[in-house]
Structure 1
C-alpha cells in the first residue's frame, strides 16, 4: 500500500507489501514529478505467484544528439513477470504515443523503445527536445530508467569570419584565419586546398582554433584555400581565399672571377629565377661599364669585348622584384702573356765544348722558364740541383748551359715560358760536328734459340756478334753470371756457349750480352731439359733484305723489305723490327714484332731525329740473322709551331682532364659517330685526337679535332664486319694529355665487295657429268665480315640447263653434277656474309666433251637425242590426228590434179627455185614418171651442235609443230636456203604441211644465194626413249658472217645450244621457215 508523504517532502516512497524477499522501496526524485505525485497502489487481496517478478530495466536509454528533421530512437527494455508495461515521461509529463493519440508523432515500439520518425524543432517550438524517462510496471511494482536527454544539433550558414587572401614570399610564415558559423554543438574547423582536404604537417602546417598556420611557405603552397565548419548537423564551406607565394630573386648562375688576356673578350654569366620575374642590371664597382665595348645579352650575361687593363675590377649583377633583391659579383683580371726578349740561337759545337743558349722573357705575371730537349722527357728548371741534371744547368734568367758536349747532345732544345696568362716557346738546334752515323751499338747476328733437349745431351748456344769496335760476349743465366768453375760449360772464341751432359739444373733463360764502347745488345733464349726428345730442329729462317724507307713523317717511318731468297730453314711466321737512335740510348730497341707483311709503318718516333733500322724473320725455330742495316733516315722537322710535350703544365694541367667515351652511333657499316664527355680543367684543352684501329693492327689512324668545344667526330672508311678499337686524347699547346679508355665495338657486316679469288674448274670429280670448282676467299679487305657460305652457279645457254649449289664458308671447292656433254657452261662463284651475297667472280667457261662420234649417216650428222625426240613427237595424239588429216587432204589433192590434167591437157605449172649442187636424198619420180617440181623455200641456219646417234643408219629430221604455211604443196618437200630477196607470203593457210619457225638475229646485209639442201621424206624407224631437243643458240645465230650455212653431212663445230624452235602462226621478216610435207 502506497502512502503519500506530506506535500513538503522531496521524495515519494513506494512500499510494496508481499513477500519478505521483496526489493527495497523505489524513490523518485522530486524534480521528476514537479507537479504530480504518482501513487502506486497494490490491489488489495492480490497474491503473487511463486515465479512472478518485479519489473527491472535491462536496457537504459542513452542521451541523444540528433539533427532536425532526422529520425531518432530512445531504446528501453525491461524484464518482469508478468511482462511489465512501458511508459515514457518527458520532463515529468507522460508522453502520448500514436497508440493513445493518433495525432501524436511519437511511436512506442514493441521492445519498449520510443521512436521519433522526424525530430520537430523550431525557433519557437521545440516539442521533442527534453529529458526522457522510461517506466516499467506490473502488479508487483514499477521500475524507472535513468534520465536520458534528447538534444537537437544546429549549424548556421554564415561564417562569423571567413578567410581572406594572403600574399607572402617563399620561406615566410603565413596565417589564414576563420571563425565558423554558430552551432550546437560548437562546430570544428578544417581546411581544403584546391578542393583537397589539407592535412597537418609536423613542424610546418598546423590548424589551431580555426587558424591555418604555415611556419615557412613553399612555392607549392600557393593556391585556393576553403575553411570547412562541421558538426553533427552537417558541414559549411566558406568562400575561397587565395594564398599567393612570391619568390625572391635567386641565382641559378652567378658571375665568376675572370682572368682574361689583353684584347680577349670576357663573359660574366648571370641567370636568376623569381616570381614575379626579376629585373636585372649590371654595374661596375668604383667605375662605369666600358662604353661601347660591353653588351648585355638575352640571357642577361655581360660580355666585354677586347678587354684592357682599365677594365679590371668587380662587376655586379643586380636582380630585383616586388618581394626582394639579390646581388652577385665577379672580378676581372687582365694579364699579359709571356713574351720573348732574347731569342735562343742555333749552336755548332765540337765534343767536349760548352754551349750556352739565351732565353729571356717578360710578362704579367712573370713567367716560369724551363728547357727541354725534343724527344726527352727530362725538364730543366732554373736553380735545379746540378747532380740531377749532370752537364745541363739553367740560370735564374733562363740561360741553358751544356758542358762537355757529346755527340748524343745534338738536336733541338726548346725554351718554354709559362704563366697563368699563357705560354710561349722558342727552339734552337745544337749540332755536334763529328757525329758519325756509322757508329752504332753491337748487333747480335745469331743468338740462342728456345730449345728443349734430353738429359745428358749437349747443347751449343750460339752468339755471333758484329760491331765497331768488336764487342765482347758475356753469358748470363736467369740474369746472373755463369759459374766459371763448372767444367761442363765452355765459352768458345766465336761467342758460342757449349754445355755438355745437360742436367735439370741447367733449365733457365740464357742471355747473350754483346758490349762495346758504343753500347750493348742482348739476346735471350730458353733452355728446357726433359727425359727423351725426338724433335730435330731445322733452323731459323733466312735473313730478310735490307729495309728500304718509302715514307717519312714527323712521327713515323714506313719500311719495306723482301724475304730471304734462300731455301731451307723454318718458314717465316712474322718479322721483328729493331731501331737505333742516338737520341734514344746506346742499344737496339725492338719497335715492332709480330709483323705479318713485308711493309710496316713504325709510329711514335721523335721529330727531327736520325734512325737506323734492321729486320729479322721469325719462324718456328727462332729468329733469323738481322738484315743489313738500313740507310740513316731522319724524321721530318716539326717546325717552330710544333707543340712539345710540357709535363710541367701538360701533365699537371691536362693530367686532371678525364675523357669518357660514350656509346658510338653507327651511321653505316663503314662509318660511325663517336662522342665523349670531358671533366676537369677544360680551359687548357686546345683540341682532341680521335684514334682508331682494327683489332690486331699495330698502327692507329688519327683524326685531329681542332676545337676544344667539339665533343663528337665521325669516323669514316672503317672496315665492315670488323672489331674496331677507339680512344680519344686531349691536347694543348704544350702537348697531349691522358688517353681515354679504349672502347671496342664491332662494325656491321656488309656483303663482300670483292669476288672469290683463284676460281678454277676441273672436269670430273664424281662421274663423267660432273665438274670440280675450286676457289680462294676474297681478299681480307673485301670480305666485309665473316664468310658464311659460297654460292656456285653453272649457267647454260638457257635457264633449264642452269645449275647452282651452295657451300659452307670454310669450303674451298665443290662438285657440281648433272652437266650435259657438249653444252658450254659459264661457272661463277660468290661469297656471302650475314649481310648478303657479294660480287661474283668472272665467268669461267667449261664444256664437257662429247662421246666418241660413230660413223655418220649420209648427208647429216645426227645424235641419239634427235631420234628419241622425234619418237616422242610421233606418239603425240595431236600429231597422229594431224597426220591423218594431212594424208586425206593429200589424196584428195592428187585426185583433183589427175582430173584436171585430163580435162585441160595443159602442162602443169611448175615452180622454179635456185638449187645448189647438192641433190635431194633418195629422189623418186612423180606420178607420171618425172621428178616433181615445186617452189622451194630458202632459209638460213647457223651451225648446229648435233649429237651422234646410237643407230647411225636411222635418222629422222625434227618434226616441228603444226603452223601456218606459205602455201600448200602436195608434192614432196625440200629444205633449201632462200635468198634474201624472196619474202614469204604473209597469207596463212592450213594444208598438209607443217612448219617450224626459227628466230635468228636481226636482218643482215644482202648475202649471196645459199646452197639448197633438199630432203625427201622417207619412212624411217624412230628410236624410242627420251633425248634432249635439238636447239640453236642465239649467239650462233647472231654470229653468222655473210652467206648462210646449209645442213650437210660434214662435222660441225659445237658452238652453243639455244632454245628449241618456237612455233609461229605467221611468217615475218627476219624469220626462217622450214617446210616439210606429211606423206
Structure 2
C-alpha cells in the first residue's frame, strides 16, 4: 500500500478517508518465523454509501379518474429502497389503486380523485442513511355542465335568455353553438346577428357541491326573439382535462300560419270525391276547423258528403260534390293560444278542354305525317295530358276511323305512321285532360305522296349541336363548317338514325369518305371561331354499303393521322338514294409517325360528286371525340 491513507497496524489495516473505490477483497498474511509456517486469510470489505438524489421528484399533474405517475431516483450502497407518503405522513400505497415499485421509486395512481391533490414525499433509505424530497400533485377536475334548462319564448318577445353553468378545475371556458350552424358564438355581440349577446362570469358554487368553490356561468341572451331562434343550442365546457357537451332547446312559440299550405284550389268533376288539405304551421300545434259560406262543417253543417280527417296540424276535408252547391270557397281556420289564421281553398268544377286552336302539318312523307298543335284557349281547369287524332281514308265513315293518342311531348311534335302512299286521308283532332276529350276539330285532307327515295338519315348527335345554338346555314353560309377533333389517329365510328323510307323499305346505307384540305384563319381554338376554308379532296375516295335491316353504325379504320375527312351518308331503297348528310372530322396526331400526305387520286372507285353547298344539317356521336371546334359566320 502506498500513500498515507493506508496504515498497517499490528492487529490489522487502517484505511483513512474511505470511499466506494476501497471496496473489495483484502488478503491478510501471517508468518511464524520460529516454525517457518505461513497463513493467509481473505477479508471482503463492503463500503456503504448514504443515498444521494439522482432524480428528485418533480410536480405531477393528473386528470380526475385517470392515471398519474410519480418518479424519484437515488444512488447509494446498498441500493436504496423507496417509500412515498402524503402530506400527513401516511403511506401513499394505502390509497385504493396506488402501487409502488420499492426498488425504483415508481409510484402509480391508477384513478385520481379530487381529494388526492396535495404534497407528497419520496423517501430513499439504506443502512447508511436516509434522504427525502417533496413534490406537489395537482388534480385537474374535468369540466361538467351542471345546469342547462330548456327555454320557451314567444315570437317577438323583447328578450330571451338561456343559461349554462359548468364546474371544473381549472375553471372551464364555455362556448355556445347552435346545432344548425358550425360557427360558435363569440363572447359579446355577434358579428352576423347583433341581437345575440354572450356574457360569461363566475359565481359561487352551491353549498351542496363537494369540493367546488366556483362555477363558470354563460348567458346567451336574444333580443327581439324570432322564430328563426328556435332550435338546439350546445353548451361546450372546456379545460385541460377535456370537454363536456350538453344541449338545451329554445322553443319559440307563434300563432298559426299557412306557409306550408300545399294548395289554394282544387278541381273535381262527375261527382268524384276530392281531397282538400290544410296544413297549419304553429307552436303549439294549431286546431283546424272547416267552413263554407260562414258555416262550420261538422258543427253547423252535418252532411255525409263532407268527411273531416284530422284536427291539426294537418286536416283533410273529403268533399263529394253531388251538386253545384258543393263547389265554392272553403275556409280552413287554425288557432292556438297565440292567435289564429285562415286560408281559402277554391273547389272548382273541371270540364273538358276547348277545341284545339290550330293544327300545323310540319312534314309529310309517303307513309307519315308530322303534326304540331296550338293548344286550346281553355284547358278546363286541368293540364292537358294528351292529343288525339282520328283519321280515315276518304271513302270510309268516321265510325270506322282509326284513333291515335299521344302523351304530351316536350318537343311539341307528333308523328302519325303507317299510312298508305297516294291515299287521301281525312283527319280530326282533339285535346284531352283528366275529364275527357275536347270537341273534335276537322283538319285539312292530305293526299299522301307517292313512294320515293327515303329521307336523309340523321347522324347521331346533331340534336346536341343544334341545342348549343346552331340554327342552320344562313344565305351567306355555304356550310356549317363544324369540325370534330378525334382522340384516335386512325379510327372513327359513325352512327345514324333510320330515316323515313317513303313507302319503300330501305335496303342499305352508303358511307363515303375522303381526305380534304382545311385552312384555318387566326386561332381556331378560341371563341369566337374564325371561319375555316374547306379545300378540295386531297386523297382517295372510299365508299361502302351497310346492309339494312342491320347495323346503324360503321367503323372507319386505317385513317391517316392528323388529317381532315369529309364523310357522306345516304340511305337507299328501290327508288334510289336519299339526300346526303355530311360530317367533317379531324384525326388525332400520332406522335410516333410523321405526317402523311394522302394520295391525290382515288383507287378503283368512281368519284361521287357532292359539294359543301349540299350540307344542310348534320350531327355525330363518337366514342372517341376529344373536342369540337365550331366555326359559324
Q: TM-score, normalization: structure 1?
A: 0.17
Task: Using CA pairs under 8 Å that are at least 6 residues apart, name the structure with larger relative contact order, 1 or 2.
Answer: 2
What TM-score do the two structures reach when normalised by structure 2? 0.28
The structure having more radius of gyration, on CA atoms, is 1
* Greater share of strand: 2
